[in-house]
Amino acid sequence: MSTRLLTPTRSVGIIGYGAYVPRYRIPAREIARMWTGGKGGTPVREKAVPGLDEDTATIAIEAARNALARAGIHAEHLRAVWVGSESHPYAVKPTSTIVAEAIGATPYVQAGDWEFACKAGTEAMQAAIGFVGSGMANYAMAIGADTAQGRPGDALEYTAAAGGAAFIIGPAEHALAVIQGSLSYVTDTPDFWRRAGADYPSHGQRFTGEPAYFHHITSAAQALMEEMGTRPSDYRYAVFHQPNLKFPQRVAKMLGFTPEQIETGLLVGDIGNTYSGSAIVGLTAILDEAQPGDRIFVVSFGSGAGSDAFDLRVTDKIVERRDKAPRTRAYIARRVEIDYGMYARLRGKLVR
């Protein structure tokens, strides 16, 4: 078989990165109080909820500004601003043009919106690797951001959260983390979907587990390690898509990663599932801590279904760049707890 890697002509890496998480938190026990009388376990401790004036565009803009601050480049050098999300504010009208204008990247820039459930952000990252790796551009920005929807009373209501992360891909010699390899593993597996015009998604209950999440992540992860000739112990950190606390811990164990390797990037317990931001907000938290030479393993998952896997090596440029923008845990720490009433208001569930 020919290589399954997506290999660019020239070596590329992450020049700058940034995250954003809204400040509101609803504890899962508060949601359980509404629907189960507070009985039974919950899949996370709490989740991040967007403010009334926040949406995928505003989340993407702040993450993008943080990425630019760390990269130390002017936005006019970007040749692409791509936003992956399943909660674009408009059905028709790009989120990416709003983001590109707000960060000062217009007008000589490629802009486009991506959609693949929770892996739209990593999909945009792989496209950016190609855009820069082919020589078409020196810098391209890929963003994954969401304000995810959960039907009141559904299992997803405990976890569907808001947040996002932005990455500027550029030549490897300027990178704070070099992308050593990546690949994508996709099949037509309908575990979760939202029809046009529907307010809330539908899902296949337990079908979202084995044939969807676990199959795609383990397949992508094992293929990438085979291609790279690596084992889990070769990586300092690993981060997987985080729909709840249990799934990423279990998939890490299945693949042979230890709890210590996934701890730094495992944010779902504190902020919920940020969908297109899930694995990559975790990656930003790892980059906030990582040391030069550390190797990072990243695997996203998007329902429908597929996984993108990445092998990164951190360079010495991380040291001078990471404190040029707020760290991801600083956003997580500015926490304002809300009750279900305020949650219903913030998420537009009240009829006036």
Distance CA 223, CA 229 (A): 10
* Member of 33, 77, 250, 324 binding another protein (CB under 8 A): 324
Identify which of residues 16 and 243 has a Cβ nearer to another protein in the complex.
16
Q: Is 331 in the site for another protein (CB under 8 A)?
A: yes
174 is catalytic: no
Region near another protein per CB under 8 A, out of 27-35, 140-148, 202-210, 318-326: 318-326
Relative to beta strand 295-299, strand 162-171 is unpaired
Identify which of residues 142 and 325 has a Cβ nearer to another protein in the complex.
325
User: What are residue 179's phi and psi, to 5 degrees?
Assistant: -90, 105
Token look-up 């995810």 returns: 148
3-class SS letters over 158-202? HCECEEEEEEEEEEHHHCCEEEEEEEEEEEEECCEECCCCCCCCE
Smallest gap from Cβ 128 to another protein, in A, equals: 22
Residue 303's alpha-carbon distances to 76, 209, 280, in angstroms, are: 34, 10, 16
Region near another protein per CB under 8 A, out of 31-39, 99-107, 116-124, 177-185: 99-107
Greatest Cα-to-Cα distance within the chain, rounded to the nearest angstrom: 60
Could you give the string, one character per residue 256-285, with x where binding to another protein holds by CB under 8 A and - elsewhere? Answer: ------------------------------
Region near another protein per CB under 8 A, out of 211-219, 256-264, 269-277, 329-337: 329-337
Distance CA 156, CA 46 (A): 12
* Member of 30, 46, 55, 157 binding another protein (CB under 8 A): 55
Residue 30's alpha-carbon distances to 27, 42, 173, 245, in angstroms, are: 5, 10, 48, 18
**Dihedral angle at the C-alpha atoms of 272, 273, 279, 282, nearest 10 degrees?**
-10
* Member of 5, 329, 342, 344 binding another protein (CB under 8 A): 329
Identify which of residues 55 and 123 has a Cβ nearer to another protein in the complex.
55
Q: Is 53 in the site for another protein (CB under 8 A)?
A: yes
User: What are residue 20's phi and psi, to 5 degrees?
Assistant: -150, 135
Relative to beta strand 336-337, strand 192-193 is unpaired
Q: Is 52 in the site for another protein (CB under 8 A)?
A: yes
* Member of 30, 62, 123, 308 binding another protein (CB under 8 A): 62
With residue 348 as reference, give the H or E element that holds it: none
Q: Which of 88, 118, 157, 203 is catalytic?
A: 118
118 is catalytic: yes
Distance CA 148, CA 161 (A): 5
Q: Is 98 in the site for another protein (CB under 8 A)?
A: yes
Q: Is 254 in the site for another protein (CB under 8 A)?
A: no
Q: Could you count the other beta carbons within 10 Å of the beta carbon of residue 37?
A: 8
Q: Which of 30, 46, 86, 123 is catalytic?
A: 86
Q: Quick one: tokens of 189?
A: 């597996």
- Considering only CA atoms, give the Rg of the chain: 19
Region near another protein per CB under 8 A, out of 129-137, 221-229, 307-315, 331-339: 331-339
* Member of 10, 36, 89, 231 binding another protein (CB under 8 A): 89
SS3 106: coil
DSSP for 312-339, please give it.
EEE-TTHHHHGGGS--HHHHHHS-EE--
| Secondary structure percentages of the chain, helix, strand, coil, to 5 | 40, 25, 35
74 is catalytic: no
Identify which of residues 65 and 295 has a Cβ nearer to another protein in the complex.
65
Identify which of residues 253 and 334 has a Cβ nearer to another protein in the complex.
334
Q: Is 90 in the site for another protein (CB under 8 A)?
A: yes
Region near another protein per CB under 8 A, out of 46-54, 115-123, 153-161, 199-207: 46-54
Q: Is 238 in the site for another protein (CB under 8 A)?
A: no
Contact residues for another protein, defined by CB under 8 A? 23, 51-55, 57-58, 61-62, 89-90, 98, 101-104, 288, 323-331, 333-334
Q: State the catalytic residues.
A: 86, 118, 241
